[in-house]
Structure 1
Amino acid sequence: MRGSSRLRCGAGTLGLMVLAGAGAQLPPPRVTTADSLPPPVVAAADYLLMLEDEPLALRAQGRPGFWRQDGDRRRLDPASAEARAWLDRLARGQTSLLHDVAARIGRQPRVLDRYDHALDGLSLVLSPSEAARLSGLQGLWRLQRLTSRPLATDAGPAWIGAPALWDGSALGRPAGSLGQGIVIGVIDTGINARHPSFAAIDGLGQVLENPRGTYLGWCNPAHPMHNRLTAGGCNAKLIGQWSHLRASMNPADENGHGSHTAGTAAGNRLLGAVFGRTLPMARDLSGVAPLANLVAYDACEGSLCAEAATLAAIEQAVRDGVDVINYSITIGDASPWASAQDLAFLGARAAGISVAVAAGNAGPGPASLSSIAPWLTTVGNASHDRAFVAELNQASGGGSTLGAMQGQALTAAYGPAALLPAAGRINRLGAIDDGRCLEPFPPGSFGGAILLCERGGNGRLEKGDNVLAGGAGGMLLINGPDDGASLNSDAQALPALHLGEREGLALKAWLALGSGHRLAISRSEVSLASDRGDRLAPGSSRGPARYRACCLHPELPIPFPAELDLLKPDLAAPGTDILAAQANGMSAFVPEFGLLSGSSMASPHLAGGAALLLALRPDWTPAEIQSALQLTARPLRDAEGRAVTALEGGAGGIDLAAAARAGLVLDASIAAFLAAEPETGGRPSALNLAGLVDAGCPGRCAWSRMLRSTEAVSRTWSLRIEGPDALRIDARPTRFTIGPGASQALTVTASWDGPASSVAGWRFGSLYLRPEGGASPELRLPLALRLQAATLPRPIFLTVDRESGSRRIDGLEAPLALAPEVEVQGLIQASPIEARVAQSPRGADPFRVLTGTWSTTLTVPADRARLSVRIAESASRDPDLWVGRDDNGDGLPQLGELACASASPEIGERCDLVAPEPGPWWLLVQNGRAAGVEDRVVLEVALPGPAAAGNLSAALTRDPSLPDADAWRLQLAWSLPGLQPGDRWQGALRLVDPTGPSPNLGIVSVELLGVERAATATPRPSPRAEPSRPPSPTTLPPATASAGVPTPSPSAPSPSAAPARAVLPWLGQRNRP
């Protein structure tokens, strides 16, 4: 049994937890006899049943009998006697659990997969009612419904320093490595197996070798599906293919994403690869580790990847013994210690596998990451130095002069031709375009003119297709404020040019005066400029590492937002305009190559880099490889040239040549990762990682790190520190000498030495380690801490069975407060808002696809402590909730305005926002699984504050039972006459220090739920809220508004007025069919 390493929600109850982690619902009643069960419902889904034993990779930790030596590397050996015995035990446990499941639900369930290397579990097809009845089943640790996750070089390898590892110059060796002997597993959309990027002989005539000596998966002639593969689809380069899809059962790539990521990581060296659409161009290209071998795991259909398939792929990759995994797929916002995907990857890390994952493309907003597990290397999207540049020129007409402008695109020359704005034009759906070219235009609309389109709302290539459909001869794509000067060298379907925000404003101003506007687009040229590289893309997801923690109440799985003391993303790599292989039929040229952008393209750069480092440094662990990359990373800037913080781009841009020479590295054990879980009292900041992060530092914080020398001789190192003047950073020792392979402890403290009134907020610094002689570069540990005047309790959720009472709440620390006080806001009851929502298309973007969505607008008055929204009732089996502030005042929900997304695959969605900014907000509901033609959904909205309602009081006293003199005890008392079971009362506590230098300490949410009184007279024990570190305290303006709950805008247009278009053009409250 795993004991304390297992993760529990609340007081050890199982509950129905979902991977998306956003929702909450009361646990269903337990049914203990099979003959009392109703017939299964037809709405079956995939469920993961995780057992309590350790999977093989975790069991093997610290047990030599599970491992074998392979040259300089130690590999997990599933064939060892110890491993076989453990696998037999896991098989017996799974068979026993499966028998118990069948007895509980009254039938034999369909088994999709069994997991025993990365996880101990089974995936089954069950109905929701059947899954509910498994709660409390002996041996079952966790039950999770599986959903689907979206998918998240010629110049790239050179930019990150790969050639210096290829030829050995990075380490001063006569020969280096191009990845020989290393196997990279790519979990994605499959692979274009006949592409020359994956052939057995590369473009330089190099014959590849299969280091395993056998073929894996469908490539193995003994596999029953081997005959389904295209002849020649497996070779000494592509040594394995698997399909984990139930529908197609074919690992061939029909999307192009998997071929592109595989080619980026390990594609062959090729000469004269031809690509482009309006302008064919040839480039030499190579993957980062061009002589590494590949295994392709097909786990995605279209742009969605079913978690049942991705878990099976992770498990199989561990069984196959790959060395590196690339995972350009989103993971979600659950705690890493509660996410099946994250835990499976922990098993992969335990087996010695380095895992690179995409950060996501939801930037530039904070806390937009899709992967935050400390055992994964999360990679953001940055630029390299190559671009295809072209000019806008030969401008004429109008009321002023317009000079030439440079932009980016892979384009043929076009023009001069008339320039027309897309804004105001009628698209094919009969709607007026808002300037973003969101839908195709009717044929013959533009007569060969050049159309001006604005970025946003849909894909850049989709815009080109839309204007081409209307008969445009060319397109100018201009950025808005969100993207600034960030450009892409797209190969559009027609001549086109991408311009920055500044150029776009000048174009619009010129177009607004006079008439007869004409201009031309020049032919693209290749441009290499070092200043263009290491620019973090605006769309790359940023930190901090926020997740949905569990739980506010020991009996109810209600999550709340929390942050991990981790540096995320870890690094950035080239992900913009990456040239690599694509699927058959995706290009006018054969073989197919294409340019793609996103963190999906950045992740395989790191995966290939890890393969090279492993080939040259076979004794390094995955943690040491990651630390070497972080310690030697280059500084990043944004598209405007501003320095990027550690929360935005992690340690920086990867530099393989420097990483290979890192004289010190850091290692982190699997036991340490398990022990770091915050919900069981662990501290992620204590992990031996390169980032020094504290998301809630109450004035002073500290870290300890253990460094290991990688050099063959003794070396002396000295420390230097950079940071804001008021941030006092101290490190010990300041100078040390370390022998070959020896370890050195390092202690770092940081404290605020500036005005206490300015304590709140993130501060950044760096700790540099400089070697005295030797080949190692100077190393850098990035530091990021959020100072706050107080550490607050987690949000308070109480179930109460009487009209009045009191509870004690612990967890408040206020070291910089002289006399903290508490101001009560609320309690109030929420106002219901009823919606009727049709079925949404599968995987539809709620910000573009109108079908199956509903919205309303509301106004948040000043000084409101909370905006609480939850789906209280729903006929839909999967309604999702989205909440955002209407920053531009147009009444339209837009992704860039999103403040909260609650999108689990079940019901019970909720968003709870502390100190919402006053002004207009919108609520959006999407119906993921309709029960009828149109489902009734009831939202409850509450805006407690600014005044107390007289039904809740709070008192603060110092806690004499705790050794910390800064700890305080909070006593809550409520009086709710007529309280009934199911009643919900919402409020907030505003912590202030009127006499101190930092008056606003923060806000704590309060929610009381009425429940049935217990049958016995024994008083219910008082739950004590565990300490946590929520988002930083928010400074509030003086209270001026009165309490109340908003109502939807009364000026809602009729449902029939909603045009069918890819934005959300409604104000107030509206249904869309």
Structure 2
Amino acid sequence: MDNPIHRRCTTLRGLVVLVAAAAVLLLSPAAVTPVASHNDHGVHNNYLVLVRSAYEYDKKVHQNVSSWHASLLASVCDSAKETLAADPSAMTRLIYSYRNVVNGFAARMTPEELEKMSKMDWFDRSLPEQTYHLLTTHTPEMLGLTGDPNRGGLWNTSNMGEGVIIGILDDGIYGGHPSFDGAGMKPPPAKWKGRCDFNKTVCNNKLIGARSYFESAKWKWKGLQDPVLPISEGQHGTHTSSTAAGTFVPNASVFGNGLGTAAGMAPRAHIAFYQVCYEQKGCDRDDILAAVDDAIEDGVDILSLSLGHEDAIDFSDDPVSLGGYTAILNGVFICAAAGNTGPSPATLVNEAPWLLTVGASTSDRRFVASVKLGDKVEVDGQSLNDPNTTMGDPRPLVHDADGMCANENVLMAQNITGKIIICDAGGVVSTEKAKMAKRAGAAGMIVVIPEVFGPVVIPRAHAIPTVQVAYAEGQKIKEFMQTSRDATATFVFKGSMFKTPQSPMVAPFSSRGPNRRSRGILKPDLIGPGVNILAGVPSIEDVELAPDAVVPRFDIKSGTSMAAPHLSGIAALIKHAHPTWSPAAIKSALMTTAEPTDNLRKPIADVDGKPATFLAIGAGHVNPQKAIDPGLVYNMTAVGYVPYLCGLNYTDQKVSTIIYPEPPVSCANLSRLEQDDLNYPSITAILDQPPFTATANRSVTNVGAASSTYVVEVEVPASVKVEVNPTKLTFKAEDEVLNYSVTITSADGRAPASPVEGQLKWVCGKYVVRSPLLVVAGARQA
């Protein structure tokens, strides 16, 4: 097996000479290309170079795929003669040689070299460098993981995910965090082939792997050197890792808030960490591909990616899609964040149907504080100040001149010493505003959340006592200030409160559908906790601590980045309980058991108070207790996506790029599959032309009682008619597969003016296998 490489052309001189003498490509002796000899002073950029699917390396000539890729690069790059006085580091040319995720390599070349390479028979296409971004307790109890298994507690049923390996791609991990203590953990399974580049005292039976990938990223970011340690102490990566599989840590809190025992979703699962992102620098596509390449060979069971690109990138160009397909081809479940650019429509990322795409929801816990006005009226908000903090006597309330408290000179000039200043969001982050207000002498700060966030408040720890309030509550405070001659207020810190009504609710930032690359596939797939999640960090940012203070190791963070590891950990629980299930079966179990209603049994609400649409919640909110025993699953193998990709009118070469290392395909020789016929747990019908009818075909596999009969129930508005055939599914054995079809027709013979939502349920006793049913107008093609 080829070892992972981060190789430099200068270290390949002997190899290049050998290749120059005997370079033979697979198809023809005519493909032999002599090494170019030139003095290269051009501008260098990083490119992902994809090799045509018909080409592969000759094992008689090349020791491994890396040496083959080096020979291809050497055909246009004479590394031995390369001298770049202006940029000596550009002597590194071959960045990554990929073995699993794509047929290709990442390299550093000039435009002239790339132009020459593009004329080679083996060359398919090149993609310029691209930067991806991170998409940034109480939830185990909220999700029903704790407690008596007879009452739905899932940890006992699934043994907390013991033996399952979760691979996390993120921005670094603090290996010494108590969430990654290996005490009581069994060694990883024998299949684990990864490595830990920390020293031996850091890695253990919990954190079994730690590697970093920066060979591509460092070319963009001057000064980014090889870390002193292989992994940086990332806030984001530590938080996501401990959310997915952190072990039990008692007395965890944020300044006394959320006090309790912290644990991840799968406390006995193993963590393999792959750093592909760097603070304020993003995540390079080629580094992401390299990490997935290695993770698959290392033996991970689950991959969790809280990163993405805001553009709707073609599946054949996107590292998450490319790596994700190879992952499921190897039986690895892959979970990805939906993005944080909501609530605008068509903003979600990671749209490929073989990924579980996760949006974010609120939990039922709030960190309550109130602004007690001089007229004794209390305005509710949230705060991470210690609940034991007392503000004392009322203080004068003051405005900032520009409303946003973003200019320290203005704050200094306003004489806010000893006063409470009210600030609108914007300009700079509120934690920076608190620091400036503290230097100006303010006693406290009120932050008014933007109106688009509705009632959702995301508190942060601040340098001075601070209460964050929703927009509507902020207007009440401002009105009080306008109508009172000497407006005063004080703060009352109340700490954590649970069972918040109307929970969960869709997070305002959670990206929404429709799916831009494949409109016939509903995305996101479902939502999970992603607001105010308490999990591990190296230390709390933006708060000045006393010299002798204990460094806090937990913090509150929000984002679909926080939702994705919840689902990754829950998938690990299911994987432990059902080790033979495919990634598609696990995904189906999570989706068909998801809840469309909140804790008041009303439809899950959006931040405007109206019922959230399927484009915001997908199948609904995750319900782990039901997902472990779903009754039926919509199963499929990786090869089942090939006719679907052909149906999207992808070229043969693009399809072959996606499904690599499977053999190349010819769509002309396959039956193309319409999007609505993909065996997906949700159903989207596109009524785009007369007679405005569509038929979706599905197959379900029995994973419940061997002998069982399911009866269909359909709930749709009168504007569409739905016919299911057959209306009963009678199973006689476990793993038996039965088929059905759903025909959706516009009731008035016209395309729907707006999306129509309904649901299809197969019901058998305790089992309710639910699929959201979405009907839309528009082009059938993505």
- TM-score, normalising length: structure 2: 0.81
- 1:586-630 superposed Cα distances (whole Å, 9 cap, x missing partner): 475435111000110000000000000000111211111111111
**Cα separation, 2, equivalents of 1:546 and 1:92:** 38
1:192 Cα deviation (Å)?
A: 0.6
Residue type of the partner of 1:197? Answer: S
> What value does the CA root-mean-square deviation take over the aligned residues?
2.9
Residue type of the partner of 2:323? Answer: A
> What does 1:999-1014 align with in structure 2 at a 5 Å threshold?
none
Q: Please tell me whether residue 701 in structure 1 is matched to residue 675 in structure 2.
A: no
1:785 Cα deviation (Å)?
A: 2.0
Residue type of the partner of 2:49? Answer: L
CA contact (8 A) 1:385 1:533 kept: yes
State the partner residue of 1:50: 50
State the partner residue of 1:692: 683
Secondary structure of the structure 1 residue equivalent to 2:493: coil
Which of 108, 121, 128 is the aligned partner of 1:138? 121
Residue type of the partner of 2:358? Answer: V
Residue type of the partner of 1:566? Answer: I
Structure 1 residues 718, 305: closer, same or farther in 2, change over 3 A? same
1:575 Cα deviation (Å)?
A: 0.6
Structure 1 residues 627, 214: closer, same or farther in 2, change over 3 A? closer
1:172 Cα deviation (Å)?
A: 9.7
Structure with max Cα Rg: 1
> What does 1:237-636 align with in structure 2 at a 5 Å threshold?
237-246=206-215, 247-249=225-227, 250-276=229-255, 282-303=259-280, 304-331=282-309, 332-393=311-372, 395-396=373-374, 403-411=377-385, 412-415=389-392, 416-422=394-400, 424=401, 433=402, 435-440=403-408, 444=412, 445-456=415-426, 458-547=428-517, 563-584=518-539, 586=541, 588=545, 589-590=550-551, 592-635=553-596, 636=604
Secondary structure of the structure 1 residue equivalent to 2:278: coil
**Cα separation, 1, equivalents of 2:192 and 2:208:** 5
Secondary structure of the structure 1 residue equivalent to 2:742: strand
Residue type of the partner of 2:299? Answer: G
1:392 Cα deviation (Å)?
A: 1.3
CA contact (8 A) 2:528 2:566 kept: yes
- 1:199-229 superposed Cα distances (whole Å, 9 cap, x missing partner): 112xxxxx0012235976552xxxxxx5xx3
Structure 1 residues 684, 337: closer, same or farther in 2, change over 3 A? farther
Which of 775, 779, 782 is the aligned partner of 1:785? 775
1:648 Cα deviation (Å)?
A: 1.1
Secondary structure of the structure 1 residue equivalent to 2:755: strand
Secondary structure of the structure 2 residue equivalent to 1:178: helix
**Cα separation, 2, equivalents of 1:585 and 1:155:** 19
Secondary structure of the structure 2 residue equivalent to 1:133: helix
1:36 Cα deviation (Å)?
A: 9.4
Secondary structure of the structure 2 residue equivalent to 1:232: coil
CA contact (8 A) 2:288 2:319 kept: no
Structure 1 residues 628, 35: closer, same or farther in 2, change over 3 A? closer
Q: Which moved more, 1:371-380 or 1:696-705?
A: 696-705
Residue type of the partner of 2:739? Answer: A
**Cα separation, 1, equivalents of 2:407 and 2:722:** 54
Q: Please tell me whether residue 716 in structure 1 is matched to residue 699 in structure 2.
A: no
CA contact (8 A) 1:637 1:644 kept: yes
1:649 Cα deviation (Å)?
A: 1.2
CA contact (8 A) 1:193 1:233 kept: yes
Secondary structure of the structure 1 residue equivalent to 2:351: coil
1:123 Cα deviation (Å)?
A: 1.2
1:742 Cα deviation (Å)?
A: 0.5
Structure 1 residues 115, 35: closer, same or farther in 2, change over 3 A? closer
Residue type of the partner of 1:284? Answer: T
Residue type of the partner of 2:187? Answer: N
**Cα separation, 2, equivalents of 1:55 and 1:511:** 73
Residue type of the partner of 1:297? Answer: Y
Structure 1 residues 598, 172: closer, same or farther in 2, change over 3 A? closer
Which of 605, 620, 623 is the aligned partner of 1:655? 623
1:33 Cα deviation (Å)?
A: 9.0
1:524 Cα deviation (Å)?
A: 2.8
Secondary structure of the structure 2 residue equivalent to 1:345: helix
Structure 1 residues 172, 515: closer, same or farther in 2, change over 3 A? closer
Residue type of the partner of 2:677? Answer: A
Structure 1 residues 569, 199: closer, same or farther in 2, change over 3 A? same
**Cα separation, 1, equivalents of 2:232 and 2:36:** 46
Residue type of the partner of 1:47? Answer: Y
Which of 120, 126, 137 is the aligned partner of 2:109? 126
- 1:850-903 superposed Cα distances (whole Å, 9 cap, x missing partner): xxxxxxxxxxxxxxxxxxxxxxxxxxxxxxxxxxxxxxxxxxxxxxxxxxxxxx
Structure 1 residues 127, 511: closer, same or farther in 2, change over 3 A? farther
Residue type of the partner of 1:265? Answer: A
Residue type of the partner of 2:212? Answer: S
Which of 151, 176, 201 is the aligned partner of 1:194? 176
CA contact (8 A) 1:94 1:121 kept: no
Q: Please tell me whether residue 749 in structure 1 is matched to residue 743 in structure 2.
A: yes
CA contact (8 A) 1:572 1:652 kept: yes
Q: Please tell me whether residue 737 in structure 1 is matched to residue 749 in structure 2.
A: no
Which of 752, 758, 761 is the aligned partner of 2:754? 761
Residue type of the partner of 1:436? Answer: M
- 1:255-300 superposed Cα distances (whole Å, 9 cap, x missing partner): 3100000000000111111423xx6663211100001011111111
> What does 1:1007-1026 align with in structure 2 at a 5 Å threshold?
none
1:353 Cα deviation (Å)?
A: 0.8
**Cα separation, 1, equivalents of 2:420 and 2:314:** 49
> How much identity, in percent, do the aligned residues show?
28
**Cα separation, 1, equivalents of 2:338 and 2:756:** 22
- 1:36-62 superposed Cα distances (whole Å, 9 cap, x missing partner): 9783413x2221122234999xxxxxx
**Cα separation, 1, equivalents of 2:209 and 2:249:** 22
Residue type of the partner of 2:246? Answer: G
**Cα separation, 2, equivalents of 1:55 and 1:196:** 48
1:167 Cα deviation (Å)?
A: 4.3
- TM-score, normalising length: structure 1: 0.60
**Cα separation, 2, equivalents of 1:90 and 1:742:** 47
**Cα separation, 2, equivalents of 1:717 and 1:455:** 52
CA contact (8 A) 1:668 1:688 kept: yes
Task: Report which of the two has the higher share of helix.
Answer: 2
Residue type of the partner of 2:349? Answer: S
Secondary structure of the structure 1 residue equivalent to 2:75: helix
CA contact (8 A) 1:441 1:467 kept: no
Secondary structure of the structure 2 residue equivalent to 1:362: coil
Structure 1 residues 295, 490: closer, same or farther in 2, change over 3 A? same
1:93 Cα deviation (Å)?
A: 5.9
Structure 1 residues 507, 750: closer, same or farther in 2, change over 3 A? same
> What does 1:849-868 align with in structure 2 at a 5 Å threshold?
none
Secondary structure of the structure 1 residue equivalent to 2:354: coil
CA contact (8 A) 1:441 1:466 kept: no
Task: Report which of the two has the higher share of strand.
Answer: 1
Structure 1 residues 520, 694: closer, same or farther in 2, change over 3 A? same
State the partner residue of 1:725: 718
CA contact (8 A) 1:384 1:532 kept: no
- 1:812-867 superposed Cα distances (whole Å, 9 cap, x missing partner): xxxxxxxxxxxxxxxxxxxxxxxxxxxxxxxxxxxxxxxxxxxxxxxxxxxxxxxx
1:410 Cα deviation (Å)?
A: 1.7
State the partner residue of 1:158: 141
Residue type of the partner of 1:290? Answer: P
**Cα separation, 1, equivalents of 2:589 and 2:297:** 27
Q: Please tell me whether residue 117 in structure 1 is matched to residue 100 in structure 2.
A: yes
Structure 1 gaps of 5+ residues are 1-31, 57-84, 202-206, 220-225, 425-432, 548-562, 792-1027, 1031-1073
**Cα separation, 2, equivalents of 1:472 and 1:237:** 45
Structure 2 gaps of 5+ residues are 1-32, 81-91, 216-224, 597-603, 651-671
